Chain A
């Protein structure tokens, strides 16, 4: 049984002091229900995630106590992608034909402070100051720039594009364009990455309504089909966040593995994709994920980015809603924001950030600690 996305809803990302994370999730869920022309009592099951705003299944208090099974998902930055895959499988199994996926969060300001114990690491690792995702991102791109000749200017260009796209997206957090010079000269956070090259923890909510493909037209005139949905954890030898040691021989990470599996499942290749949302916790991640997801060879990013190919009008539009860099990262909602954006793109409803030429295939990718990745391929 194929699976379709028939309703989407979003609560604007950024800072909303007047609403809790849960309320932002409920806001998004109501919009998604409305978009699919269904009521909450029609929903047969739900998957959802939130890292800092309590249990996602507390949404039933806001939306109504209908008795449906609501399963909480927690997979770090890949929570949204993992929720979506769980719902996809629930429908594909034939057990259900209408479900909700939701993610929301509301984080404190400043970098995340993870707890080593939760990941099976000794307390010493955090005490000496290595329990920081930002360090991993910086060290991975530092090595990558050395190996594949990526310039510092290209790092800034990625962030510049994120802020341009954010300025076209009414739901984004950062809506002012920021120039390359200002990005490069902003406060150094973890060399070689500056403040404006990073996304920040933020707030927001996204919800999606999924149905079996054969019933999709009951709910929408513009169903978007999930042609591929995969999730992988790291294999031995991949270079990952929160790793006190790294094997001498490196293998592909979970991103490359999830990507290959998704393309195989969808029966399409990277060249067929018209628009893509790639995890951009910072600019280095977007650059490396271009190649890890198969959209270019390692090192080709320098030319592609300098030529503007990753802009909305380019040959490979990436993070057309401004990505994590312009939206911030509410962990539970972030991966679902990518799917929301792709559905808008495939429906032709993305307004100022719409890619031209009538896109048919769209791609999402998330990466999370301690080395997991989820990919979806959507087709209208």
Chain B
């Protein structure tokens, strides 16, 4: 069994039982920011607390990345194995619109306004065998 690690600390609560993305919410103006920050870019205040974002929302906009990006892209793919991937902003009600990779890369299956849910899945395998876990949005049933 390989070891699993999050792609970055503080982005989400995985490996908790019901993993969620984390935002910071300003206690003065109520604005949520992802990823969590130490100050509020809306009101400049520093009275922020970290909280979980809702796991479901709607697709606000999207594209499909058709060419393999240069560094800093780090997926473990080669130009031969590269698969186009979807990217979009998902509006999480009461929270914020979060940009993330989509599990779907077929443009015909993506449309603005469709229901989406966040999932936490293996993204790449490190040289030491560690599996890196990241967040994705997938069309919700």
Where the two chains meet, the residues of A that have a C-beta atom closer than 8 Å to any C-beta of B are 110-111, 113, 115-116, 122-124, 126-132, 135, 138-140, 142-143, 146, 187-192, 236-237, 243-248
Contact = CB atoms under 8 A, between A and B. Distances in A.
Given A111-B67, A113-B70, 13 more contacts: A113-B69, A123-B72, A127-B72, A127-B74, A129-B69, A131-B69, A143-B112, A191-B64, A191-B66, A244-B34, A245-B23, A246-B89, A248-B95
21 contacts: A113-B71, A122-B8, A122-B35, A127-B7, A128-B7, A128-B75, A128-B101, A128-B134, A129-B73, A130-B87, A130-B101, A135-B65, A142-B63, A190-B63, A236-B42, A245-B98, A246-B60, A246-B99, A247-B42, A247-B96, A248-B96
Contacts of A247: 31, 42, 96-97
B41 interface: yes
Contacts of A128: 7, 73, 75, 101, 123, 134
B139 to A, nearest CB: 16
B70 A111 contact: yes
A190 B66 contact: yes
B107 A129 contact: no
Contacts of B62: 139, 142
A248 B140 CA distance: 21
Interface string B34-61: 1100000110000000000000000011
A246 B11 contact: no
Contacts of A129: 65, 69, 73, 75, 85, 87, 101
A247 B26 CA distance: 13
A245 B36 CA distance: 10
Interface string B66-104: 110111111100000000010111010001111111000
Given A128-B101, A129-B73, A245-B99, A139 B34 contact: no
Contacts of B87: 129-130, 135, 139
B8 A124 contact: yes
B59 to A, nearest CB: 10
Contact of A139 (B32, B74, B75, B88): B88
A189 B101 contact: no
Contacts of A246: 60, 89, 96-97, 99
Given A130-B87, A247-B42, A140 B69 contact: no
Nearest to A244: B99
B72 A113 contact: yes
Interface size bucket, B side? 35 or more
B91 A139 contact: no
Contacts of B91: 248
Nearest to A187: B66
A149 B60 CA distance: 16
B56 to A, nearest CB: 15
B63 A124 contact: no
Contacts of B64: 188, 190-191
B72 A131 contact: yes
Contact of B98 (A110, A138, A244): A244
Given A115-B72, A246-B97, A248-B91, A189 B7 contact: no
A189 B66 contact: yes
Contacts of A116: 72
B134 A191 contact: no
B71 to A, nearest CB: 6
A176 to B, nearest CB: 23
Contact of A126 (B33, B73, B100): B73
Interface string B102-118: 00000100001000000
Nearest to A243: B99
A192 B107 CA distance: 9
Contacts of B88: 139
Contacts of B61: 139-140, 142-143, 146
A123 B8 contact: yes
Contact of B63 (A122, A131, A191, A237): A191
B8 A245 contact: no
Nearest to B98: A245
A187 B67 CA distance: 10
Contact of A124 (B7, B65, B67, B97): B7
Given A124-B134, A132-B69, A190-B65, A142 B112 contact: yes
B1 to A, nearest CB: 24
A131 B95 CA distance: 23
Nearest to A242: B99
Nearest to B123: A128
Contacts of B66: 187-191
Most chain B beta-carbon contacts within 10 A, residue among A139, A146, A188, A245 = A245
Contacts of A131: 69, 72-73
Can you list the 4 inter-chain pairs with the closest CB atoms, starting with the nearest? A126-B72, A138-B63, A245-B34, A143-B61
